[in-house]
Amino acid sequence: MKFHLAWADVLSQNALLKFVVFALTLSTIAFGLTTLKLSLQPPLLIERGCVSQVVHPASATEHTEEEIGAFLRAALSQRFDTEAIADTSLVSDLEKLNRKREQEELKGRGMRQRVLVNAESVQIQGASVRLNVDRLISTATLRTDLLFSVVLALASTDRTPSNPYGLTLQSVLVPEAGPNSIGAAGDLATVRTKEGTPNEKRR
């Protein structure tokens, strides 16, 4: 082989090797930056259940409608369901006391309670949520289903492993409560609204 042909072949191989090294260097830098960016993102919290779903990053302060809906189902279950665990960070101390008093009354009557949220009825207005729920009351031989509207007062709080939603249920109001009110005995204590009118009953 002639010298100039051999030299041209060497130069061609060198150029190819330089291009490969340059491409690998760019790829390494890109992968490194991508890894660094992903490692600095806040961790995702996964809601455990039959179907797992992403709730939100731990540092997020805004709440989506889907997240509020999931919170309402969990919080109302903790507040009213007889089978639920009473010690929870989803419900305020006042509502925990209301739950305890209500469950004692239900137990004395030999009754059990459960509530189901009507997702299509949820109306979010700032920190207030209005929705319809089905209240299921059962005894050893009888089951009753009562439908009523409630107004919930929510408050934001820090997201924790026990409360990934970053929300707490402060109070439950039953506007214009009648015989199908949420109290076990049906005689809720009257509370005044901000305008001073006693047209809402509280649990």
What tokens were used for 93? 């101390």
The pLDDT value recorded for residue 130 is: 92
Q: Distances in Å between the alpha carbon of 31 and those of 9, 25, 28, 44, 164?
A: 33, 10, 5, 22, 31
What tokens were used for 66? 């889907």
Interacting residues of 138 by C-beta distance below 8 A, sequence separation 6+: 111, 112, 113, 114, 144
- pLDDT for 43 beyond 80: no
73 and 157 housed in the same domain: yes
Q: Residue 93 corresponds to which amino acid?
A: D
User: Cα(99)–Cα(86) distance, rounded to whole angstroms?
Assistant: 8
- pLDDT for 24 beyond 90: yes
90 and 9 housed in the same domain: no
81 and 139 housed in the same domain: yes
Burial (Cβ within 10 Å: 0-12, 13-18, ≥19) of residue 200:
middle
3 and 64 housed in the same domain: no
75 and 34 housed in the same domain: no
The pLDDT value recorded for residue 31 is: 92
81 and 174 housed in the same domain: yes
- pLDDT for 29 beyond 50: yes
105 and 181 housed in the same domain: yes
151 and 175 housed in the same domain: yes
Q: Which residue has the higher pLDDT, 111 or 10?
A: 111
Tens of pLDDT, residues 136-182? 888 888 888 888 889 999 998 888 888 888 899 999 988 765 434 45
- The pLDDT of 101-121, averaged and rounded, is 90
- pLDDT for 57 beyond 90: no
Q: Which residue has the higher pLDDT, 58 or 129?
A: 129
62 and 90 housed in the same domain: yes
- The pLDDT of 65-74, averaged and rounded, is 88
Q: Which residue has the higher pLDDT, 16 or 7?
A: 16
User: Cα(174)–Cα(147) distance, rounded to whole angstroms?
Assistant: 12
5 and 64 housed in the same domain: no
Q: Give the domain range for residue 98.
A: 44-202
10 and 104 housed in the same domain: no
93 and 192 housed in the same domain: yes
User: Cα(53)–Cα(117) distance, rounded to whole angstroms?
Assistant: 19
Number of domains in the chain: 2
Q: What is the pTM of this model?
A: 0.58
- Taking the alpha carbons at both ends of the chain, their separation in whole angstroms is 98
Domain at 50, CATH number: 3.10.450.230
In degrees and rounded to multiples of 5, residue 67 shows phi and psi of: -70, -40
**Average of per-residue pLDDT values in the chain:** 77
Neighbouring CB atoms inside 10 A of 43's CB total 8
